[in-house]
Amino acid sequence: MGEEGKKKERSGWAKLDEAKITAAYDFCSGYIDFLTAAKTEREAVEQISKAALDKGFKTMDKIDELQPGEKIIMTSKNKVAALVIMGTQPLEEGFNLVVSHIDTPRLDLKARPLYEADGMALLKTHYYGGIKKYQWPAMPLALHGVIIKKDGQVKHVLVGEKADDPVFTIADLLPHLAKDQMEKKMSEAVNAESLNALVGTRPQVQREEDVIKAFVMNLLQDRYGIEEDDLVSAELQLVPAYPAREVGMDRSMVGSFGQDDRVCAYTALQAALEVDAPARTVICLFVDKEEIGSAGNTGLKSLMIENMVAEIMHKAGKNEYYSLRQALSSSHALSADVNAAVDPNYPDVFEKMNCSFMSQGVVLTKYTGSRGKSDSNDANPEFIAKIRQLFDEAGVIWQVGELGKVDIGGGGTVSKYLAHYGMEVVDCGVALLSMHSPFEVASKLDVYMAFLAYKAFMQKFSPRMAASKPATEKRGDEPWPKSTPVSPKWSERLAEQRK
């Protein structure tokens, strides 16, 4: 059936009563606060840890022996977090994992960022993840991060978020002089080396050279007690200097920087906080570096999951290596990551029968990758069938999705790194408009459905879930009928026609 003949699905909002609509709006109030407070990985881990500790989760060093029902918070390098809720079943039977990432595309400062040119002091940047470079000039930016001094002191930096804070910006070229620029391809119109943020114009009068840079450095020394060389051991990010906001006259959407993938991180967090006494042990994991290929020791290409599970099993008295491998391969996971919502301004890149829509519920993505499913996890249908059953029984509104037309592009998630251990994995997240931009948009309905989906999976999923009707298997190699069966009435008419 062609796309034009596809029946339009009813909006998810029409499937909810007023109580559930109110619940979705109320849930997103906390989500908006989280987005505004957590604009870096470190800030996200701080928010996650505080929420977990407030709900009675304990750090591993406070626990002598793991018992069913125990709730643990684990963190690594201030950029990875995990909530663990111990189940009653043996660990070797596997875990229910929900894995999201808390890094997001942005501008990082270079190791030696501060310089002076043409009467201005500027900061050099190196973009992180897949951005459209032309989206970042001419907007207010805030500086977030940490500076680590040689003696180990940690200096936290946060400038540009308060109403009376100064902000930073990257100047854009005026249209009067942009003739050559506007004739370039969009990917080339703004060069990465020109993404330099303006930080000052006042001179340090006691200096003879780099006087404006010196004035800015003096401000940093007064505020943070640092020298210029300390910026080498810093992790500083420029992010949009505005809060998350409600979008639309009906306030039915959320607009913010960083919703890929903090929309899945927040909904998974809230779900984990409500899980109680599960049969299977639950791990809700928040990881780093997904946007740059999950590299490094805080990304899922590392042995992070293996080491984390080994620590859990060791604390539970399970020290055999085979038990660790058995637990990982017997696990089931949702790779909690976003998909692209169909955008009516750009219809040509979407195949609407298989792409996801705003306000149609959480998105199940069987495979990601690009073009011929390159570099993709392709979820097994037996697992997807169980997820369908689980979501339907839990009242979760859901849809299927692909990332655009097959030959247009594509993208990846952490699902393939989870599948490496032999566990069953499928991608499940929220559809976004303007993904990877400084202001992404999500539907409040979809955000709320992600929360319900993750909660149902953590609390109730079992690989032994029984189908509502006995399953029957057809081999598919039976011969096709020689003719299509017809009703007796039509048989009489055909006989008359043959006469």
Strands 362-365 and 424-429: antiparallel
91-143: pLDDT as tens digits: 999 999 999 999 999 999 999 999 999 999 999 999 999 999 999 999 999 99
CATH class of 106-240: mainly beta
- 427 burial class (0-12, 13-18, 19+ CB within 10 angstroms)? buried
Give the pLDDT score at 434.
98
> Which residues of the chain form CATH 3.40.630.10?
3-104+257-460
Of 53, 230, 42, 2, whose CA–CA distance to 144 is shortest?
42
Residue with tokens 């190699």: 477
> Which residues of the chain form CATH 2.30.250.10?
106-240
Give the pLDDT score at 269.
98
Give the pLDDT score at 373.
87
List the chain residues with pLDDT less than 50: 1-7
pTM for the predicted model, two decimal places: 0.92
Residue 360: C-alpha distances to residues 96, 204, 411 (Å): 25, 57, 21
Check: CB of residue 255 under 8 Å from CB of residue 447: no
Residue type, 260: D
Order of strands, sheet of 106-117, starting from the edge strand that comes earlier in the sequence: 154-159, 141-148, 234-240, 106-117, 120-128, 197-200
**What's the residue count for the chain?**
499
Whether cis (ω within 30° of 0) applies to the bond prior to 261 is yes
Give the pLDDT score at 4.
41
Q: What fold does the segment set 3-104+257-460 form as a domain?
A: Aminopeptidase (3.40.630)
φ, ψ at 219 (rounded to 5°): -60, -45
Check: CB of residue 448 under 8 Å from CB of residue 390: no
Give the pLDDT score at 450.
98
Of 302, 356, 335, whose CA–CA distance to 416 is shortest?
335
Helix axes 444-460, 259-274, angle to 10 degrees: 40
Give the pLDDT score at 480.
66
